[in-house]
Structure 1
Amino acid sequence: MTSAGSTPSARPRRFVICGENLLTLRIVEALRRQGSAAVDIVVVVADRAGRYVPQIEDAGVRVLEGGSSDDDRTFLAAGVRGATAVALVDREDVTNIHRALRVQEIDPDVRLVVRLFNTRLGRRIEQILPTATVLSVSETAAPSFVAQAIGRNTRQHIRVPERTFVVAGRREVRDEAVVCGLAANSQLGARGGPRLLPAGGPDAADYVLAVAESRARETDQLSRPRTERVRNAVERVVVRLRGTFTRRLARATLALGALFILGTVAFATAGGYHLGDAIYLAVLDSAGAAQPDTGASVAVRVIQGFVTVIGIAIIPLVTAVVVESAVSGRVLGTTPRRMPRRDHVVVVGLGNVGMRIVTTLRDRGVPVVAVERSEGAVGASTVARAGIPVILGDATRERVLREAGAEECRALVAVTSDDATNLQAALVGRSVQRSVRVVLRLRDDDLAGRVERSMDAISRSVSYVAAPVFAAALRDGQVVATIPIGRRILLMAEVAVGRASFMAGLPIPALSETGAVRVVGVYRGAGPDAVLETPPRPHRRLKVGDRLLVVATRGGLGTVLERCASRSVYDRAAVPSRRAEGMVSV
């Protein structure tokens, strides 16, 4: 097999990244990890004194200062004309759009990767930038946080044309549905960490990729006995009702019920009434509708007066508690849902990532409560308008987390922009509920590793999850999904076999590599007539134009992209554009 490093004698491929932030640094690291050393990376920053510039320079890339959206000289000096791809990753959507339009004017054929938070706007932008791939960092990272918050009992579904896959435990799927093993020793806190894409077949893994159940099988599920469907419906109603009852409401209701029972027993014994009459009198008197009867015995009049007075006192209390639980002064929004009180997820922080996590949980039918310090946060009003409860307060205070129901929630997800706040919220959450599942957003890898070991928590870095997707897009690969395994991730991507690719004519196993790459499918044909063959036949040889569906580590995906790339990519990088000659450097 031809080595990935045996490329034609040519100038290395050139990637230009505009923007200075942690995502930029992670993309540089991912590009280095995904490919050989023969890659020219140029980073354009607005200020060389930026926080991440020293680390970017330490990664061995060129850094140019400039990057104004209308500064063509900076872009030309960075080499956007004739570059393999250009990434626009500033935090501001408008800045990235402006730069993308300028780069397109300089070189209409260059591949663009544009970071945008507004995905609806992104779909419009792709119409006027035909070479652009628009990606959202928060949208890319949110499923990883959601998967960890829900836990492994809820499978991750990955939908591709013609097929749906699920990521689940090995024992949760049928043998014939397994496509490949994803990880062994993947339990949280396991010694040595998970072994990704292990050798030995699916039976050697405890976490697998499988084909989802067919529609016919789902139809069989719908034809289950009516009693089972009714029982499941009743269970869902009970869970919903249980989530709406606060402790104060439950206590007031129990007090009213106790008064009714006590009154019934007193009327039946001391008053000498039959059980039916005793219940009738107890209901009316508890509701304050007693009718005076001077001819009744002293015992009956005492009981009637006592039940009536206590009932008049309790009913307003029940009414007040019901109103308070329905419309709480701490819940932001005009039409909030009732606060879930158990088996829900508490999300701390409603920035871009937090808002995506909350809406994703809601779309999956998981009860969720958001906690945000500021009413003016990016997602606070948006989430509240969607009917999701938003608690306004400091999540590092125990009282606020108790208000959000942290005592009986299934998970606490802390995703503010500050590592210290996230860690403190997690510690307070553990003091409220010792066994709560904690998922943290932490930028510092060393801190994250120590927190995971000491707290038995799960940590994620947004840029760490998103960077491989951006890097793969720069290398002309389409990432379909990210699969979190502990703090590490696997990528499922579509990769095309290019013209004169090194892989053309070789069998599929030549591309697979233990611990790095698995080919799980091949699209035969083009356009709407393409058919996904999964698992692919091992002796079938690859042809130019085939699209591979692979699961790989970040480095493994880079190897696949290099081996499958058209050699014309190198040819283009080897021949500098005449229009670039004689331009002034900045």
Structure 2
Amino acid sequence: MQQPPPTGHMVVCGDDALAERLAAELHTVYRETVTVVVPSARASDATPAGSAGRAATALLGRLQAVMARATRAAPDGVAPEPRVLESPAPDEATLVEAGVREAAALALVHDDDETNIHAALAARRLNPRLRLVIRLYNRKLGQHLEELLDQASAVAAPGLDLTTVDTSTTVLSDADTAAPALAATAVAGTSKVVHADGLLLRAVERTPPGHGQVADPGLCTLALLSATTNDPAGAEGSDDDDQEEGPQLLPDARTVAGATGRGTVVLETVSHAGPAQTPVRLTRRGLPFGSFFSPRLRWSLAGLTACVLGLAVANWVAVPGAHPLHAGYLTLLDLFAIDDPALDEPASRQILQLLSGLAGLLFLPVLLAAVLEALGTFRNAAALRRPPRGLSGHVVLLGLGKIGTRVLARLREMDIPVVCVEEDPDARGVPLARRLRVPTVIGDVTDEGVLESAKVHRAHALMALSNSDTTNLEAALYARSLKPDLRAVLRLYDDAFATAVYRTLRAAHPAALTRSRSVSTLAAPAFAVAMMGRHILGAIPVERRVLLFAALDVAGHPQLEGRTIEESFRAGSWRVLALDCAAPDDRLPDLTSAPPEDGTEHPAGLVWDLHPGYVLRPEDRVVLAATRQGLAELLGRRPRVRSSHASGTRP
């Protein structure tokens, strides 16, 4: 029988891959003691379909395998083996068994928002000092829930000193966390912008400088991109961490100077964010007058109009002394068959009257069709648009679920043309596509002609983000048969399968760029750093790795205290970026919080242009960029077996 966890451990409750990867992240990177609560396979098997039971069994098996592999790879004595609990639901009894009353943090990452909310309310009652990290898709509800749970913590523990005990509640969405990286993968050369409440950090990817040119380092160079970033055969296209080639995070000056032909990620600007701005409306609302009539109907109307004008001119010429307006008036009377027969008129006038009557017979059906089509357009003004003719250079987005919806919003914010493909007309992202007037094809992507309707043969990239690995793979293979050099981004669940697919597509299509991405792999680091406390300001994805930004007090960190800015830098691990010069009593307890809205002036204390010889004092607070392993070494209560203080050496 497993022993109960010690005080200060981490608890993860979930039912999918995010729980699995989050637990592995806490155990292997931060060396924390972890308790994982997964759904009971027997309870799930009681459902009519039994699919939940099979999913729970598979999750439990994968989790146990990951934990065993991580424990074998970790140094002896670094962290005890994680324990796994099975329960039908994360109710109060289950949370007590998991040790929530003694835990430091709890992550609720079930795919169901209601389940996470119920568990969060119960956990806050059990332990007001607990750090809560909750997975919610509804962002507005998440903001209200954060305020409610933080207020409940303050009421339950009125004497709690929040400067020494972090009882924060953080609501995250895996879709929101992964969407920027997925969107950036499909569009080369976009800037990485991370909005971490009160701070706005902007990192820019820069291409290698030409011969004789000197690259602008900005405030500092955060990373060197893979040497094969723009090479279709590059190793950075998969989420597999075992690949040898990859980006270099936080390189030293010598490494940056010696790197030729490699792009960089540069910290360009850092500024305080103002009040939340109203999002810019991407498209004008109103009736689509430009799409009332089909092209065939417009050509028919144009031809008949030209015919009527020609008859009017002929009448003007045939009748001597007639005024042009009178000739046009006679033509219209003849056209609608309301004029007297031209019995006593010349033969030319009689022939023109017959031709006008014939044109009228042709004009009336076209006019009726125009009226009916216009009425149908008014009735379906909010209907989904079809991809326009001649469209090219766009992104084909497959799947409008939680992830696809967020990625669609990000792509449109960057003004990138998108065509969506979705099988379910009632999918979560269909209303967003309708509101943004994004062309959408409703149909099964595996059916012939669906991808052709999305103009994939003229597209810039394909993003296959459905929930089915096989559907995403089939769509990518078929799209590559239509356009061999198409950029393809696949969302794949299984890591081994993703690596195999990536390598096979790379070998079969060396002229095309292929990327395989896992949403849980992209989102897990953000959830993990939130569990470590509010000192985490944000994260920036660099290819398949993540660079973290944190605020730390220098006191208690021998790697920083008493060292100069230059000496405290450890290449590949951490780098001090800014110094909070405000007096300790005037500092915000949480740098990620927005400035007060009551008009109280808060002294700005962050200095970014630091002298390399400044000696860090215990009372200082610094903002630094760090890798996950580097930050774990700085924050970990269990130090690594091997440590090095020399500047420029890797831990």
Q: 2:107, 2:134 within 8 Å by CA — same for their partners in 1?
A: yes
The whole-number CA distance in structure 2 between the counterparts of 1:471 and 1:352 is 21
Partner of 1:493: 549
CA gap 1:40/1:312 in 2 versus in 1, 3 angstroms: same
- What are the superposed Cα offsets for residues 205-247 of structure 1, whole Å, 9 maximum, x if unpaired? 41422425999xxxxxxxxxxxxxxxxxxxx99xxx999779x
CA gap 1:497/1:366 in 2 versus in 1, 3 angstroms: same
Q: 1:325, 1:339 within 8 Å by CA — same for their partners in 2?
A: no
Does residue 143 in structure 1 map to residue 169 in structure 2? no
Q: 1:521, 1:534 within 8 Å by CA — same for their partners in 2?
A: yes
Does residue 352 in structure 1 map to residue 402 in structure 2? yes
CA gap 1:84/1:303 in 2 versus in 1, 3 angstroms: same
Does residue 106 in structure 1 map to residue 180 in structure 2? no
Q: 2:395, 2:460 within 8 Å by CA — same for their partners in 1?
A: yes
Partner of 1:31: 26
2:15 to 20, 24, 32: 20
Q: 1:181, 1:208 within 8 Å by CA — same for their partners in 2?
A: yes
1:288 is displaced (CA, Å) by 5.9
Partner of 1:87: 107
CA gap 1:171/1:255 in 2 versus in 1, 3 angstroms: farther
The whole-number CA distance in structure 2 between the counterparts of 1:47 and 1:327 is 50
Partner of 2:294: 249
Where 1:347 maps in the other structure, the secondary structure is strand
CA gap 1:363/1:105 in 2 versus in 1, 3 angstroms: same
Where 1:371 maps in the other structure, the secondary structure is strand
Partner of 1:196: 248
Where 2:408 maps in the other structure, the secondary structure is helix
Q: 2:190, 2:204 within 8 Å by CA — same for their partners in 1?
A: no
Q: 1:195, 1:515 within 8 Å by CA — same for their partners in 2?
A: no
Paired residue type of 1:490: V
Does residue 57 in structure 1 map to residue 64 in structure 2? yes
Q: 1:42, 1:63 within 8 Å by CA — same for their partners in 2?
A: yes
Partner of 1:578: none
Aligned residues: 519
Does residue 540 in structure 1 map to residue 540 in structure 2? no
More helix by share: 1
CA gap 1:457/1:75 in 2 versus in 1, 3 angstroms: same
Where 2:33 maps in the other structure, the secondary structure is strand
1:461 is displaced (CA, Å) by 0.8
Paired residue type of 2:402: N
Partner of 1:187: 230
2:536 to 474, 478, 482: 478
The whole-number CA distance in structure 2 between the counterparts of 1:100 and 1:174 is 49
Q: 1:494, 1:547 within 8 Å by CA — same for their partners in 2?
A: no
The whole-number CA distance in structure 1 between the counterparts of 2:466 and 2:88 is 28
1:382 is displaced (CA, Å) by 6.0
CA gap 1:548/1:307 in 2 versus in 1, 3 angstroms: farther
Deviates more, 1:92-101 or 1:408-417: 408-417
Where 2:58 maps in the other structure, the secondary structure is coil
Where 1:39 maps in the other structure, the secondary structure is coil
Where 1:397 maps in the other structure, the secondary structure is coil
2:33 to 32, 40, 54: 40
The whole-number CA distance in structure 1 between the counterparts of 2:552 and 2:568 is 13
- What are the superposed Cα offsets for residues 63-114 of structure 1, whole Å, 9 maximum, x if unpaired? 1223743343x43443333333221212222222222233333332232222
1:310 is displaced (CA, Å) by 5.4
The whole-number CA distance in structure 2 between the counterparts of 1:438 and 1:19 is 30
Q: 2:221, 2:264 within 8 Å by CA — same for their partners in 1?
A: no
- Using the size of structure 1 for normalisation, the TM-score is 0.72
Q: 2:134, 2:172 within 8 Å by CA — same for their partners in 1?
A: yes
Partner of 2:472: 422
CA gap 1:543/1:153 in 2 versus in 1, 3 angstroms: same
The whole-number CA distance in structure 2 between the counterparts of 1:337 and 1:535 is 51
Q: How does 1:152-171 map to 2 (within 5 A)?
A: 152-159=188-195, 161=198, 163-170=200-207
Bigger CA radius of gyration: 2
Higher relative contact order (CA closer than 8 Å, sequence separation 6+): 1
- What are the superposed Cα offsets for residues 279-331 of structure 1, whole Å, 9 maximum, x if unpaired? x969x87x967997955368866875676565556555666666777766xxx
CA gap 1:146/1:302 in 2 versus in 1, 3 angstroms: farther
User: Which structure 1 residue ranges, 5 or more long, are not aligned?
Assistant: 1-10, 216-235, 329-333, 572-586
1:96 to 116, 123, 127: 116
CA gap 1:85/1:270 in 2 versus in 1, 3 angstroms: same
Paired residue type of 2:382: T
Q: 2:8, 2:102 within 8 Å by CA — same for their partners in 1?
A: no
Paired residue type of 1:348: L
Where 2:472 maps in the other structure, the secondary structure is helix
Q: 2:552, 2:621 within 8 Å by CA — same for their partners in 1?
A: yes
The whole-number CA distance in structure 1 between the counterparts of 2:514 and 2:313 is 58
Q: 1:116, 1:135 within 8 Å by CA — same for their partners in 2?
A: yes
Paired residue type of 1:63: V
1:22 is displaced (CA, Å) by 0.7
Where 2:563 maps in the other structure, the secondary structure is coil
Q: How does 1:448-467 map to 2 (within 5 A)?
A: 448-449=498-499, 450-451=501-502, 452-453=505-506, 454=508, 456-467=513-524
The whole-number CA distance in structure 2 between the counterparts of 1:547 and 1:15 is 26
The whole-number CA distance in structure 1 between the counterparts of 2:557 and 2:125 is 30
Q: 1:196, 1:516 within 8 Å by CA — same for their partners in 2?
A: no
Partner of 1:230: none
Paired residue type of 1:396: T
Q: 1:422, 1:440 within 8 Å by CA — same for their partners in 2?
A: yes
CA gap 1:115/1:508 in 2 versus in 1, 3 angstroms: farther
1:23 is displaced (CA, Å) by 0.7
CA gap 1:55/1:322 in 2 versus in 1, 3 angstroms: same
Paired residue type of 1:533: V
